[in-house]
Amino acid sequence: MRTDMREQQGPSGRGPEIWLRGPVPLPDDPPPPPPPASGTPRRFSWIGLHGGAGVTTLATVYGGQDCGRNWPGPHDPRSVLLVARTHASGLATVPGALDLFRRGAAPQGLDLEGVVLVADAPGRLPRPLAERVSALESVIDVYRVPWVPDWRLGDPPGPPAQPPRQTEALARLTGHGR
């Protein structure tokens, strides 16, 4: 076994090689906007990866811009959350969307923050679907929203809305709710 430090260091020879998550600005890019002041909810653009993903309800509950199935407009928040349902066809849309960001084919200047998976039915996911979710969680932050019967009955909460209890991480990310 070799213990030569140069073998363990990155290409610069000055330390370990690291990977950056998120977009890397090009030299001609303007500097990113400053982060929101403490206590100010962060704004996101919610993008549905298929019809019925739940973008309108999520934007109502957590704030931000409901972009439907479109890319954010020039005045919409640049931080993006992709939304899909947890059924097989919904989960199948996620890898292609992630690949657009990976290849740089998404509109320039968008910052992919994560994927929001909205339960398509009450209860636990069947094993094949749970395995797909686990695979997604290995490459990007995934926020799960449970089944909410009131939303199905046409009672989406009006502002100020309380998010479901199981969505603390998403509520913290967006600065809304609990």
pLDDT digits (tens, 9 = 90+) for 124-158: 999 999 999 999 999 999 999 999 888 777 766 55
pLDDT, position 8? 43
pLDDT, position 175? 85
Span 74-101, average pLDDT = 96
Three-class SS state of 85: strand
pLDDT, position 9? 44
pLDDT band at 21 (very low <50, low <70, confident <90, very high): low
Distance between CA 139 and CA 123 in Å, rounded?
25
- The alpha carbon of residue 142 and the mean position of all alpha carbons in its chain are separated, in whole angstroms, by 6
Three-class SS state of 84: strand
Give the strand pairing for 65-66 and 45-48. Answer: parallel
pLDDT, position 126? 96
List all residues 6 or more positions away from 97 whose beta carbon is below 8 Å from its beta carbon.
47, 49, 82
State both tokens at 105: 């084919």
The architecture CATH gives domain 42-174: 3-Layer(aba) Sandwich (3.40)
pLDDT in tens, 23-77: 555 556 555 555 544 556 678 999 999 999 999 999 988 889 999 999 999 999 9
**Whole-structure pTM value:** 0.74
Distance between CA 134 and CA 145 in Å, rounded?
15
SS (H, E, C) 62-73: HCCEECCCCCCC
Instruction: Specify which residues 65 forms β-bridges with.
Output: 45
pLDDT, position 4? 42
SS (H, E, C) 116-132: EEECCCCCCCCHHHHHH
State both tokens at 143: 């926020």
**CA-atom Rg of the chain in angstroms:** 19
List all residues 6 or more positions away from 18 whose beta carbon is below 8 Å from its beta carbon.
10
List all residues 6 or more positions away from 21 whose beta carbon is below 8 Å from its beta carbon.
none
Would you list the domain boundaries of the chain?
Answer: 42-174
